[in-house]
Amino acid sequence: MTLDTADKQKLINTHQTHGTDTGSPEVQVAMLTERISRLSSHLQQNNHDFSSRQGLLKMIGRRKRLLGYMRSKSEQRYSEIISKLGIRG
């Protein structure tokens, strides 16, 4: 469910905008997407884990807000991250 350091570094290197970028919206959305997919597979096996389900819904809301922010700032960056991660259709 959690990301180890190697996975985080791989995501950061893939989605960063410059060499020292670790907190741009693209990186945050990529990390949240990976955590959401891992937690979703966990919840398919453990459907009575209600506290994890609540955490999943909070992560989905945070990702939605970040994507809305990106869309308002730059439509091009928004569409690139959507197509790169394969979310929203």
Please answer whether residues 40 and 56 qualify as being in contact, where contact means their C-beta atoms are separated by less than 8 angstroms: yes
Please answer whether residues 4 and 24 qualify as being in contact, where contact means their C-beta atoms are separated by less than 8 angstroms: no
Please answer whether residues 49 and 43 qualify as being in contact, where contact means their C-beta atoms are separated by less than 8 angstroms: yes
Query: Tokens for 2?
Result: 């959690």
- pTM over the 0.85 mark: yes
Each domain of the chain, given as residue ranges in start order, spans 5-85
Name which CATH class applies to 5-85. mainly alpha
pLDDT at 72 over 80: yes
Taking residues 1-13, report their average pLDDT.
90
Taking residues 62-84, report their average pLDDT.
96
* Of 83, 47, 43, the residue nearest 60 (C-alpha): 43
